[in-house]
Amino acid sequence: MVVTGAGVSAESGIPTFRDPLEGLWAKYDPRELATPEAFARDPETVTRWYDWRRQKCAGAKPNPAHLALAWLGKHFQEQNRCFTLLTQNVDRLHQAAGSRNVVELHGTLWIWRCTRCGIEHEEREVPFKEYPLRCACGGARRPAVVWFGELLPDDAIQNAHDALESCDLFFSIGTSAVVEPAASFLHTARRRGAKTAEINREPTPVSRMADWSLQGSAGEILPGLVQRVFGI
The residues annotated with a catalytic role in the active site are: 106
Please tell me whether residue 114 adopts helix, strand or coil conformation. Answer: strand
Segment lying near ligand APR (by CB under 6 A), choices 17-25, 38-46, 53-61, 152-160: 17-25
| Residue 105 Cα distances to 80, 137, 150, 211, angstroms | 24, 28, 12, 24
Minimal CA–CA distance to 7: which of 148, 230, 173? 173
- Centre a 10 Å sphere on the Cβ of residue 227 and count the other Cβ atoms it contains: 12
174 binds ligand APR (CB under 6 A): yes
* Contact residues for 26 (Cβ-Cβ < 8 A; gap 6+): 18, 19, 20
106 binds ligand APR (CB under 6 A): yes
185 binds ligand APR (CB under 6 A): no
* Strand stretches in 1-82, DSSP E: 2-4
218 binds ligand APR (CB under 6 A): yes
217 binds ligand APR (CB under 6 A): yes
Instruction: Select from 1, 2, 3, 10 the one that contacts ligand APR (CB under 6 A).
Output: 10
109 binds ligand APR (CB under 6 A): no
Binding site for ligand APR (CB under 6 A): 5-7, 10-11, 16-18, 23, 88, 106, 174-176, 179, 199-202, 204, 217-219
